[in-house]
């Protein structure tokens, strides 16, 4: 019975797994050097937990099911709700600030598209209980540290930054009532994803006053904080939000990564829960979805039944990232080379070996097996051939596996000697078998 | 709104995550040095895929659901069906033998018990397309290599080995028709898990002839291959199966791990799909479930719609293993020490710094941020304090984070000098800031 894999999922054959591990190991390495500690939660949680942050619409994008006790559960589409739950559970005992990262596997019941699968990995970094915008800068810096690590320069990708506070201040200044804001976030967030006419239609639907709509559009086109300040110079709230963005920018400047960063007021992030700096990373060519997004969310822990605690974070999926890295030719050349420490070969003849108990007939295969096992127990990667080919074939197999050294059990073994061949220099030396073994064990 | 985690799942706070990573990294390291390549599949597959190997009973133990297209899917309770599917898909192009490992997250809709959760990790190693029992020995060796790596000696754990071929030959010899064998595997597998009287009742129910039942029981008590040979000496099939076990034993002897291994005919493995050597690892005290189990399964790929290809493998979950390691005190002392390369501190005064563009007022905090960022970009782990405490408090924080070195931005910074304190020796040296930065970048 032949059964196919489920659409939108991936099989990771060893060569695919090597790529996945390289991406995830990079995320982990950069997180650790930036002072984040790893956490994880369950793959499934109570369904209602995912509705708190993202509303009822999220339910359609969830793989949900009931357990035998009739509880409504769902595969996690994101890890932030779990993060909020876990931090709330131990809020008083956790050292502050909480700097945590995770690389969860996530699930969305969507129609698979380019860069969007039903099962994917996402790097998450979060700083909780710190309201200084330095934390926002550190989140953005850590993101850039990774991009730089894998070879994506400021010519390849840009961090587009804005501020939800700024947007709120601007909308209020233009005269949009706060009750309308949440709906507008979703609309404005679509600007770069839909044709300009469609965007205008959707905006007009929400903002009937065409002068106000035009002002919103004009704001979203501004390409510097200075221009925003000019447009809304007498509004203290706008000025304050601008100053905050300028401070983040100053930190990023100090950090040496300002060339990656641009101000872009069209960055909104659809969800209502953002409260301060927001950002997305896009490829400069611009034909892909956002590589990642994040921002400040000071109310989320409270929404999950905890105290009011400031927080800021970022999430980066592996699908769009991998497409971009592939396009730039940055994966294959960066994959760590897989090398074998020792390949153990034999010239294929049985050998009589004297032991303390008398004459025991051992085959060369026995020695190959013994030696390979001892090398492995001592921590070396070691292999032998299951095939019964001659020495030439075995040496070829050793080369294919990129062995650093090849040990040959040959005629010299009668004198208890192994031939150890350096596969790079081709040099071969004879070593005493017992000494070799005892050196391994020490 | 406060929502609890789902019963039978785990939250991995950083200290839990460190333990999980240590276990999984150990599995990965040992797999690689034994020549296995990593693979993985999707978290969910078509429900029917899991019924092929384990029958309809498995459905009750699955978290199953429908996607929007009405397809019946399930969270994977094991990875072997996925392995069979993936190998079958590329059977002609994969180099042989296929030696693969995986550390999948798996799911079972059971009532959580000690050592049995609804969500867990499992190490899997498999050798496919090799019928030599050397492959069985290599699977067992790799398992022991890991046990030894984490400090479990042959005094702590035993590999109990038997053979499905032997059991089949014995049952046939006793006169049990082959049509009864599959049911008996499940019954005999329970022997060590239920009271002797209960076992006898269940056995009698399946084997009405009490003489035959007694013979089966007697066989299951034999503690050496020699005794089996004595009991069934004229049966060629028994002798052949015994010889195969002796060969595996000989290999394990050569490999230097025979002290871990014992013959135990009560090891049956419940599932029908095993075809040769079978084994389980148990703690010597014996109050835990099996730590792992495995064996040869030469028909599985064929059952999944592929060709007849020999295969042998092992699966080890993380739950029982962790309980045992904890009991033996082997986790905390083996966890890799988390150390910080640099902590960057400041004596907390603003400093005027001359730049090429004239006098620019930079705060010490700016320097801290700049330095930390540069250290991280250069690949070092580095931290600073978000709190505005004095130098003493910062040094304490540096100690808590086990910093190897602490850089202090102090009065000497007026002369462009940093104080670098070795946190182990307490020694402090002054270094030129610009040179320090340029050395980092080179």
Nearest alpha-carbon partner for B335 in B22, B17, B15: B22
Please state, in angstroms and rounded to a whole number, the distance separating the CA atoms of residues A322 and B103.
22
Kindly list the residues from chain B whose CB atom is less than 8 angstroms away from the CB atom of residue A340: 35
Which residues on neighbouring strands pair with residue B106, listed in sequence order?
Answer: B120
pLDDT at position A166, please?
96
Determine, for residues A14 and B39 on separate chains, whether the beta-carbon distance falls below 8 Å: yes
Query: Which range has the top average pLDDT, B40-54, B315-329, B353-367?
Result: B315-329
Determine, for residues A40 and B33 on separate chains, whether the beta-carbon distance falls below 8 Å: no
Determine, for residues B109 and A48 on separate chains, whether the beta-carbon distance falls below 8 Å: no
Cβ contact A27:A103 at 8 Å: yes
Determine, for residues B63 and A63 on separate chains, whether the beta-carbon distance falls below 8 Å: no
Kindly list the residues from chain B whose CB atom is less than 8 angstroms away from the CB atom of residue A370: 254-256
Please state, in angstroms and rounded to a whole number, the distance separating the CA atoms of residues B54 and B76.
12
Residue A71 to residues A58, A79, B120: CA-CA distances in angstroms? 18, 20, 20
Determine, for residues B75 and A43 on separate chains, whether the beta-carbon distance falls below 8 Å: yes
Query: Who among A97, A254, A383 is closest to B386 (CB)?
Result: A97
Q: Does residue B357 register a pLDDT over 60?
A: no
Query: Who among B21, B38, B42 is closest to A119 (CB)?
Result: B42
From the CA of B196, how many Å to the nearest CA of chain A?
32
Strands B44-46 and B37-38: unpaired
pLDDT at position A350, please?
56
Q: Does residue B231 register a pLDDT over 80?
A: yes
Determine, for residues B48 and A3 on separate chains, whether the beta-carbon distance falls below 8 Å: yes
pLDDT at position B239, please?
94
Confidence of residue B361 (pLDDT cuts 50, 70, 90): low
Query: Who among B35, B52, B376 is closest to A33 (CB)?
Result: B376
The overall longest dimension of chain B from CA atoms, in Å, is 102
Per residue in B151-189, pLDDT tens?
999 999 999 999 999 999 999 999 999 999 999 998 999
What ipTM is given for this predicted complex?
0.95
Kindly list the residues from chain A whose CB atom is less than 8 angstroms away from the CB atom of residue B20: 40
pLDDT at position A358, please?
52
Q: Which one of B14, B81, B90 makes the best mutation probe of the A interface by having the most chain A beta carbons within 10 Å?
A: B14
Please state, in angstroms and rounded to a whole number, the distance separating the CA atoms of residues A376 and A379.
5
pLDDT at position A2, please?
84
Q: Which one of B4, B377, B381 makes the best mutation probe of the A interface by having the most chain A beta carbons within 10 Å?
A: B377
pLDDT at position B319, please?
96
Cβ contact B331:B15 at 8 Å: no
Q: Which one of B9, B11, B357 makes the best mutation probe of the A interface by having the most chain A beta carbons within 10 Å?
A: B11
Kindly list the residues from chain A whose CB atom is less than 8 angstroms away from the CB atom of residue B32: 381
Please state, in angstroms and rounded to a whole number, the distance separating the CA atoms of residues B102 and A37.
24
Determine, for residues A381 and B14 on separate chains, whether the beta-carbon distance falls below 8 Å: no
Query: Who among B2, B100, B340 is closest to A14 (CB)?
Result: B100
Determine, for residues A17 and B32 on separate chains, whether the beta-carbon distance falls below 8 Å: no
Determine, for residues B40 and A20 on separate chains, whether the beta-carbon distance falls below 8 Å: yes
Per residue in B3-51, pLDDT tens?
999 999 999 999 999 999 999 999 999 999 999 999 999 999 999 999 8
Q: For chains A and B, what is the number of CB pairs under 8 angstroms?
A: 225
Round to the nearest angstrom and report the end-to-end CA distance of chain B: 52
From the CA of A231, how many Å to the nearest CA of chain B?
29
Which helix (H) or strand (E) segment is A438 a member of? helix A433-441
Cβ contact A127:A311 at 8 Å: yes
pLDDT at position B351, please?
58
User: What SS3 state is found at B46?
Assistant: strand
From the CA of A148, how many Å to the nearest CA of chain B?
8
Query: Who among A255, A303, A380 is closest to B33 (CB)?
Result: A380
Query: Who among B9, B85, B306 is closest to A42 (CB)?
Result: B9
Query: Who among B63, B137, B373 is closest to A67 (CB)?
Result: B63
Tell me the HSE value of A102 on the side-chain side, using a 13 A CA sphere.
Answer: 26
- Note the residue count of chain B: 442
Q: Does residue B127 register a pLDDT over 90?
A: yes
Kindly list the residues from chain A whose CB atom is less than 8 angstroms away from the CB atom of residue B63: 44, 65, 67, 73
Query: Who among A5, A145, A381 is closest to B85 (CB)?
Result: A5
Per residue in A294-317, pLDDT tens?
999 999 999 999 999 999 999 999
pLDDT at position A57, please?
78
From the CA of B296, how many Å to the nearest CA of chain A?
17
From the CA of A44, how many Å to the nearest CA of chain B?
8
From the CA of B208, how many Å to the nearest CA of chain A?
36
DSSP letters along A2-60, please? --PPPTT---B-HHHHHHHHHHHHHHHHHHHHTT-EE-B--SEEETTHHHHHHTGGGGG
Query: Who among B75, B369, B381 is closest to A32 (CB)?
Result: B381
Taking 70 as the pLDDT cut, the residues of chain A under it are: 348-361
Q: E-strand spans in A212-357?
A: 261-263, 277-283, 292-296, 311-317, 340-346, 351-355
Q: What is the pTM of this model?
A: 0.95
Cis peptide leading into A97, omega within 30 of 0? yes
Nearest alpha-carbon partner for A295 in A227, A255, A248: A248
Kindly list the residues from chain A whose CB atom is less than 8 angstroms away from the CB atom of residue B42: 5-6, 9-11, 119
From the CA of A294, how many Å to the nearest CA of chain B?
20
Query: Who among A37, A109, A255 is closest to B68 (CB)?
Result: A109
Share of chain B above pLDDT 70, in %: 97
Query: Who among B45, B145, B306 is closest to A376 (CB)?
Result: B145
Residue of B nearest to A72 (CA): B6
Determine, for residues B377 and A75 on separate chains, whether the beta-carbon distance falls below 8 Å: no
Determine, for residues B257 and A373 on separate chains, whether the beta-carbon distance falls below 8 Å: yes
Per residue in B258-313, pLDDT tens?
999 999 999 999 777 899 999 999 999 988 999 999 999 999 999 999 999 999 99
Determine, for residues A2 and B86 on separate chains, whether the beta-carbon distance falls below 8 Å: no
Instruction: Kindly list the structural domains of chain A, giving each domain's residue range(s) and its CATH number in brackets, ordered by start.
Output: 14-327 (3.30.930.10), 340-441 (3.40.50.800)
Query: For helices B164-174 and B181-189, what crossing angle results, to 10°?
Result: 110
Residue of A nearest to B50 (CA): A3
Alpha helices in A109-155 (DSSP H): 133-149
Determine, for residues A67 and B370 on separate chains, whether the beta-carbon distance falls below 8 Å: no
Confidence of residue B355 (pLDDT cuts 50, 70, 90): low
Range of weakest confidence among A44-58, A97-111, B106-120, B396-410:
A44-58
Determine, for residues B71 and A6 on separate chains, whether the beta-carbon distance falls below 8 Å: yes
Cβ contact B79:B102 at 8 Å: yes
From the CA of B12, how many Å to the nearest CA of chain A?
5
How many Å separate Cα B315 from the centre of its chain? 8
Please state, in angstroms and rounded to a whole number, the distance separating the CA atoms of residues B254 and A76.
48
Please state, in angstroms and rounded to a whole number, the distance separating the CA atoms of residues B372 and B267.
57
From the CA of A82, how many Å to the nearest CA of chain B?
9
Determine, for residues A45 and B304 on separate chains, whether the beta-carbon distance falls below 8 Å: no
Please state, in angstroms and rounded to a whole number, the distance separating the CA atoms of residues A332 and A28.
19
Q: What per-residue string of b and e applies to A74-87 under the rule 16 or more CB within 10 Å gives b?
A: bbbbbbbbbbbbbb
């Amino acid at each position: 019975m032949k059964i196919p894999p489920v659409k939108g999922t991936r099989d990771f054959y060893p060569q695919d797994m090597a790529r996945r591990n390289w991406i995830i190991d990079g995320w982990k390495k950069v997180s650790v050097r930036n002072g984040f500690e790893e956490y994880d939660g369950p793959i499934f949680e109570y369904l209602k937990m995912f509705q708190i942050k993202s509303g009822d619409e999220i339910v359609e994008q969830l793989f949900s099911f009931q357990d035998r006790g009739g509880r409504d559960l769902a595969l996690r589409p994101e890890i932030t709700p779990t993060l909020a739950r876990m931090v709330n559970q131990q809020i008083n005992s956790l050292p502050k600030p909480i700097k945590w990262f995770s690389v969860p596997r996530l699930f969305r019941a969507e129609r698979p598209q380019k860069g969007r699968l039903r099962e994917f990995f996402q790097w998450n970094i979060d700083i909780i209980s710190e309201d200084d915008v330095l934390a926002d800068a550190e989140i953005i810096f850590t993101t850039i540290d990774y991009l730089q690590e894998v070879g994506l320069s400021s010519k390849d990708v840009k961090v587009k930054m804005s501020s939800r506070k700024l947007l709120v201040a601007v909308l209020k200044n233009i005269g949009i009532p706060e009750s309308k804001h949440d709906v507008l976030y979703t609309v404005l967030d679509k600007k770069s994803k839909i044709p300009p006419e469609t965007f205008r239609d959707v905006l007009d639907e929400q903002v009937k006053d065409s002068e106000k709509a035009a002002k919103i559009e004009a704001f979203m086109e501004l390409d510097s904080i200075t221009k925003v300040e000019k447009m809304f110079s007498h509004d203290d709230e706008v000025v304050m939000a601008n100053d905050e963005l300028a401070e983040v920018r100053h930190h990023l400047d100090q950090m040496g990564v300002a060339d990656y960063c641009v101000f872009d007021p069209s960055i909104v992030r659809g969800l209502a829960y953002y409260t301060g700096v927001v950002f997305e990373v896009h490829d400069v060519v611009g034909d892909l979805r956002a590589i990642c997004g994040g921002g400040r969310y000071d109310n989320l822990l409270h929404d999950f039944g905890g105290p009011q605690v400031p927080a800021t974070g970022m999430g980066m999926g592996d699908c769009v990232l991998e497409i971009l890295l592939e396009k730039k030719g940055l994966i294959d050349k960066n994959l760590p080379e897989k090398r074998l420490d020792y390949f153990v070969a034999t010239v294929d003849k049985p050998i009589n070996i004297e032991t303390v108990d008398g004459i025991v007939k051992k085959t060369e295969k026995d020695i190959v097996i013994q030696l390979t096992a001892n090398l492995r127990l001592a921590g070396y990667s070691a292999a032998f051939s299951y095939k019964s080919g001659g020495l030439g074939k075995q040496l070829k197999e050793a080369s294919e596996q990129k062995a650093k050294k090849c040990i040959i059990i040959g005629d010299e073994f009668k004198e208890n000697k192994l031939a150890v061949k350096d596969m790079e220099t081709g040099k071969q030396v004879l070593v005493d078998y017992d000494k070799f073994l005892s050196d391994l064990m020490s």
